[in-house]
Amino acid sequence: MQNLVKEFIEKTLGISVVLEKPKDITLGHYATPVAFSLAKELKKSPMQIADELVSKFENCSMFEKVEAVKGFINFKLSSAFLQSLVDDALSNEDEFARQTRKDEKILLEYVSANPTGPLHIGHARGAIAGDSLARVGKHLGYDITTEYYINDAGAQMDLLGLSVSLAARDFIFKEEVAYPETYYRGDYLIDIANVVIEKFGKDIIYDESKFKDIALFAKDLVMDIIVKDLKDLGIEFDNFVSEKSLYSEWDNTKEVLEKNGSLYNKSDKIYLRSTQYGDDSDRVVVRDNGIPTYLAGDIIYHKDKFDRDFDRYINIWGADHHGYIPRVKAAIEFLGNDSSKLEVILSQMVQLLKGGEPYKMSKRAGNVILMSDITEEIGADALRFIFLTRKSDTHLEFDIDMLKNQDSSNPIFYINYAHARINQVFVKAEINYDDIRDVSFEELNQDGLNLVYEALLLESVLVEAFSKRDMQKITEYLYNLASSVHKFYNEHKVIGSSEQNVYLKVLAIAALSINVGLSLLGIKAKEIM
């Protein structure tokens, strides 16, 4: 809608304009301060310019009223124009708020948790943010590929093999075990150990030379858990990339870095000159034992990413990776690529409460809150929605008991109730959407027109949410739209009134907006509650 209005205004005036939405809708649906920007050039007052520009919109069917107010030009959309947009939307529901294909190719990487245990609640935040961003971006026409980077090389894998052995000895064979300072905990390790013993025999548990083999086997089982848990949350990936599979490219990658002088040796270690690009110190990429570091793995991976020639690369990382950004961007530059193409979104911590008290850690995972436990307790829809009520780079605290409330304090219930309420009104009226498609808005009151306008704002909300990487704008919009639906329904008799069918058409476009908005957040709108 906003793009159509903007294009029409610019075509009529022959100049580019900035459109704003007045806080007070009685002033108009849109406004432009273009007269102020023209004042110096035309050597006239903004008020005079605005008055002159307004005259160009006489007898325009798109607007009910165009007026100059203190140098601003306000535009009030006509009921006929709003009706045309609604008619088009209800006739092409799958295309509602969708935009045409864009040339920009985006590689979106998120979650990428170590395959050493099930996903915890912190992982869920990045997972939901990434999946929702991908859904919205694809709806807006972007060519987006989603990717999970499997960190299946390095010390964490050695530790996984050891942890499976310890779990087997302690909980299966009932031995006295001296645990090291660092190891993985959780009942999932016992399950893995049982599978390992069944497949390879008991002896492998005691053979340290086989711990790497145990780890690789366990990694696949853990990834099965991770993939299932993500799927239960409505999340699937286009690609999975193994860190281990890329390590064969380290020598070639190192050669490129050596040729441009970005590496140097010190104390038998190889360092990356990352301070040249804002890092607080140069970073080790090869240890004194000759083994590449975690950073080296990421350098290889980002070389692989850029070799695939996307226009933009988006990584969603945990907040603890903040200091990691400059060194990765440094490596990208040293490899001859443009690091400005890499965008990093940080996902902050989550504080989970239940009944006002900290949520209990999961025994199955050792010392974390499992994502799967919360999904099971409150449902995927509620978890997805609440995680999107705050921008991912801000802290989030919520009480899961609140998400069981059946009132406005529970935002997903409140929005779903609005959608179900509309659906049930149609059922009670014994009318379907086809019956009201041709209904005119000519006599529709201002409350109805305002609700129609609000429902048609979804596309502009999606554009802003995607451009700012802020899905909170969508959840806020849907909550406010649901509130407007409830208010309209409570203030206007629908079933059996003379305005029944026109009101039903108003509610139909609101329901469509809620349905599409929720679906782009990975949530299915309720038809009945």
Weakest-pLDDT range from 100-104, 280-284, 353-357: 353-357
**Domain assignment of residue 302, yes or no:** no
Q: Are strands 263-266 and 269-272 parallel, antiparallel or unpaired?
A: antiparallel
- The SS3 assignment for 345 reads strand
CA atoms lying within 13 Å on the CB side of residue 152: 23
Same domain? For 73 and 163 the reply is no
> Which of 77, 112, 139 is the last residue in one of the domains?
77
Residue 365: band (very low, low, confident or very high) from pLDDT cuts 50, 70, 90:
low
Same domain? For 514 and 419 the reply is yes
Same domain? For 60 and 159 the reply is no
For 247-349, where are the E strands, in sequence order?
A: 263-266, 269-272, 283-286, 312-318, 342-347
Q: How many other C-beta atoms lie within 10 A of the C-beta of residue 94?
A: 6
- In terms of residue numbers, what domain contains 512? 406-519
Confidence at residue 362, expressed as pLDDT on a 0 to 100 scale: 64
Closest alpha carbon to 64 in 25, 91, 11: 25
Q: Are strands 350-354 and 396-399 parallel, antiparallel or unpaired?
A: parallel
Q: How many domains does the chain have?
A: 3
CB-count burial class (<10 Å; 0-12, 13-18, 19+) for 58 = exposed
**Domain assignment of residue 314, yes or no:** no
Q: How far apart are CA 195 and CA 198, in angstroms?
A: 5
> Which of 224, 253, 285 is the last residue in one of the domains?
224
Residue 26: band (very low, low, confident or very high) from pLDDT cuts 50, 70, 90:
confident
Same domain? For 65 and 160 the reply is no
Same domain? For 514 and 412 the reply is yes
* Rounded mean pLDDT, 8-25: 91
> Do residues 345 and 391 make contact, with C-beta atoms less than 8 angstroms apart?
no
Q: How many other C-beta atoms lie within 10 A of the C-beta of residue 238?
A: 12
| Residue type at position 155 | A
Neighbouring residues of 475: CB distance < 8 A, sequence distance ≥ 6: 385, 388, 389, 411, 521
**Domain assignment of residue 502, yes or no:** yes
Closest alpha carbon to 117 in 194, 231, 222: 222
Q: Is the pTM of this model over 0.85?
A: yes
> Which of 77, 94, 109 is the last residue in one of the domains?
77
- 169, pLDDT greater than 80: yes
- Residue 416 CA: distances (Å) to CA of 133, 421, 489, 511: 21, 8, 15, 10
**Domain assignment of residue 48, yes or no:** yes
Residue 437: band (very low, low, confident or very high) from pLDDT cuts 50, 70, 90:
confident
Confidence at residue 360, expressed as pLDDT on a 0 to 100 scale: 78
Weakest-pLDDT range from 158-172, 232-246, 355-369, 437-451: 355-369
- 8, pLDDT greater than 90: yes
Q: How far apart are CA 1 and CA 82, in angstroms?
A: 9
Kindly state the helix (H) or strand (E) to which residue 378 belongs, with its residue range.
helix 371-378
**Domain assignment of residue 82, yes or no:** no
**Domain assignment of residue 219, yes or no:** yes
Distance of CA 277 to the CA centre of its chain: 29
**Domain assignment of residue 351, yes or no:** no
